[in-house]
């Protein structure tokens, strides 16, 4: 594991950004390809995973388990339950809509909520 204090400033900022976004429940964050060299160096160090960007000239990144261990304290708990709270809310929405599927418009809501749960971040 690299000494984070010895990383170049751009790499430190990328890790700080990903850590802050993770704390808010975001698993993936988008960066400009201008930062490609720094992102690839962090990937080679095993701290981030890179994904294709959604828009032109962008790259998405997320912390690996090693990256989380490096930038988050061991006792970190996301505020308000983080992503688990959002999953619980989607589950409640799906169950509520499924129980009322006979009402016009409720079945599509249940389907969308279940799809979001299945395709959400791991």
Per-residue model confidence as pLDDT tens for the chain (122 residues): 678 889 999 999 999 999 999 888 788 999 999 999 999 999 999 999 999 988 899 999 999 999 999 998 777 666 666 677 788 888 999 999 999 988 888 889 989 988 888 886 55
Least Cα distance to 14 among 32, 33, 39 occurs for: 39
Answer whether 7's CB lies under 8 Å from 37's CB: no
**Crossing angle of helices 9-23 and 36-44, rounded to 10°:** 80
* Overall pTM > 0.85: no
Across the beta sheet with 29-32, what order do the strands follow?
Answer: 29-32, 58-63, 48-52
Question: What count of residues does the chain have?
Answer: 122
Where exactly are the structural domains of the chain?
4-71, 79-119
Least Cα distance to 27 among 35, 36, 18 occurs for: 18
4-71 belongs to CATH 1.20.1440.120: no
């Amino acid at each position: 594991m690299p000494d984070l204090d010895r990383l170049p400033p751009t790499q430190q900022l990328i890790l700080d950004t990903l850590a802050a976004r993770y704390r808010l429940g975001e698993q993936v964050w988008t960066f400009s390809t201008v930062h490609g060299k720094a992102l690839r160096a962090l990937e080679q160090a095993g701290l981030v995973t890179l994904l294709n960007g959604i828009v032109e000239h962008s790259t998405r990144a997320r912390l690996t388990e090693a990256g989380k261990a490096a930038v988050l304290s061991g006792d970190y708990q996301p505020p308000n339950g983080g992503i688990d709270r959002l999953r619980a809310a989607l589950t409640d929405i799906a169950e509520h809509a499924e129980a009322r599927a006979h009402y016009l418009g409720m079945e599509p809501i249940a389907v969308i909520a279940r799809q979001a749960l299945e395709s959400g971040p791991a």
